[in-house]
Structure 1
Amino acid sequence: MQPNPSTLVRETFPVGPLGCNCTIVGDPQTKKAIVIDPGGDHQLILDRLDALGLKVVSIIHTHAHLDHFLASGEMKKATGATLHLHKDDQFLWDNLEMQCRLFGVAYTPVPAPDQWLQDDEELACGCGVALHTPGHTPGSMSFWFPQDRLLIAGDTLFRRGIGRTDLWGGDHQQIERSIRQRLYTLDEEAVVVTGHGPDTVLGEEIRENPFIRG
């Protein structure tokens, strides 16, 4: 596979008590960035933005399980960036305290989302598009950056795995449909950033994922 020269700044690192992968995606020209799934450690995320010379303009979420937005409130307070989520996950966002209690995680209030993400919506900086990929949760989203062949899949698709569907609002038939119809139809050479654990390559998952093969 030929290396793909990236036009974006991208850095992914685990945050929070459950090791959620937080991703910064930035435009090297405008220095504007989006932060995806700030699941904790807000100061670490702010420090990485500073080191990269980027200013976050929007904070977007693949879904509303607690480990993907524990630092969203602190990030918004520190940066003024807007919070984005698919409306079908509002019930999870509204029940953050309950989720934290069940998982034994300290509860920090988070304000309501500023904007609801839409399917096929262009993301801030004009660098990517939001894809509605329900199944792990009703409002699960993936984010596709075609010029960089980069897919942020959240907890929908993992390296040789798929997201759980036994939590609130999960649906196995939906996640299978989302993966087959929305993700496996993208560029097979795309790097897939998962919600937890290592990156993978989309073509490898199409051929080798034991749960859903293309």
Structure 2
Amino acid sequence: MEAAKPALIRETFAVGPLQCNCTIIGDPLTKKAIVVDPGGDHELILQRLDALGLKVVSIIHTHAHLDHFLASGEMKKRTGASLHLHQDDQFLWDNLEMQCKLFGVPYKPVPSPDQWLRDDEALACGCGVALHTPGHTPGSMSFWFPQAKLLIAGDTLFRRGIGRTDLWGGDYGAIERSIRQRLYTLDEDATVVTGHGPETRLGDEMRENPFIRA
């Protein structure tokens, strides 16, 4: 019999002035990791990577709102990891300074993304796949890790809520399609890491989310 693969390393914690959920996903064999949405507190993220014995190779973003990128530049500078974003959010990335000014958050320059994320693209470390789930923003992405039954949904899906669609490029029809057709077709037992706030279970949202049910 083939030996079972060891479980992925996963740690999620809130960072930055708007308490974005940042997630570290690590391969237990290679010790390589991806960091999702480093929204601030780069020293804390680096400390957690060191404590877990992981080396970050890829920094991926669910979307390009300011609260999901604030530590990205410093993380890239300190680790050499590549930055990834869906191209449909380039206009938001190009206006990060404006976003920071609107919300009264100090701006630190961030380099352009190194690579554009694509729908159904395999993620670094071979442990997950990127899903294009537009609606909150045109380039919003979710990240699915089938081995771990883990869905990182960014600001697309929350515990008993959905992402707002009244910001730049938001589209309610698109977010409804993304949730129904992409997220609600995944494993009901999956844990959902949201962009802010508590985790939830996908099956619970399918049945109990007051905004969009399966």
User: What is the TM-score of this pair, normalised by structure 1?
Assistant: 0.97
C-alpha distance in 2 between matches for 1:162 and 1:9 = 27
The answer to whether 1:206 aligns with 2:206 is yes
C-alpha distance in 2 between matches for 1:31 and 1:198 = 27
Superposition map of 1:26-105 within 5 A = 26-105=26-105
Q: State the aligned residue count.
A: 210
Q: Secondary structure of 1:99's partner?
A: helix
| Aligned position for 1:194 | 194
Give 5+ residue unaligned stretches, structure 1: none
Deviation at 1:7, TM superposition (A): 1.3
Give 5+ residue unaligned stretches, structure 2: none
The C-alpha deviation readout for 1:167-189, integer Å capped at 9, x for no partner, is 00000000000000000000000
Q: Which letter maps to 1:8?
A: L
Deviation at 1:6, TM superposition (A): 6.8
The C-alpha deviation readout for 1:13-55, integer Å capped at 9, x for no partner, is 0000000000000001100000000000000000000000000
CA contact (8 A) 1:6 1:148 kept: no
C-alpha distance in 1 between matches for 2:179 and 2:195 = 15
How large is the RMSD of aligned CA atoms in angstroms?
Answer: 0.8
| Aligned position for 1:142 | 142
The C-alpha deviation readout for 1:62-112, integer Å capped at 9, x for no partner, is 000000000000000000000000000000000010000000000100000
| Aligned position for 2:177 | 177
Q: Secondary structure of 2:193's partner?
A: strand
User: What is the TM-score of this pair, normalised by structure 2?
Assistant: 0.97
Q: Which letter maps to 2:84?
A: H
What is the percent sequence identity of the aligned residues? 85
The C-alpha deviation readout for 1:145-185, integer Å capped at 9, x for no partner, is 00110000000000000000000000000000000000000
| Aligned position for 1:151 | 151
Runs of 4+ in 1 over 6 A off after TM superposition: none
